[in-house]
Amino acid sequence: MNNEPKTMNCFTLVEMLIVVGITALLAAIAISVAARIDNKAKQQLAESNIAILTAALQQF
């Protein structure tokens, strides 16, 4: 008979929780950066529209 202890090659619960936590942290950072980029793009679009409207009003 084989009396060698069986070793299981798998991740522990703590390791899985650490990976999930790091993944959640990276996702939160990515969402924050994406929101900031979106807000900056909207602001630049608004400034551009204001400049166009100002030029149109001056010509009128």
Task: For residue range 1-53, list pLDDT tens digits in order.
Answer: 567 777 778 889 999 999 999 999 999 999 999 999 999 999 999 999 999 99
Per the listing, tokens 């149109």 go with 56
Residue 9 pLDDT: 81
What gap in Å lies between CA 3 and CA 17, rounded to an integer?
Answer: 33
Per the listing, tokens 């994406």 go with 34
Residue 43 pLDDT: 98
What gap in Å lies between CA 42 and CA 34, rounded to an integer?
Answer: 12
Residue 33 tokens, joined: 């950066």
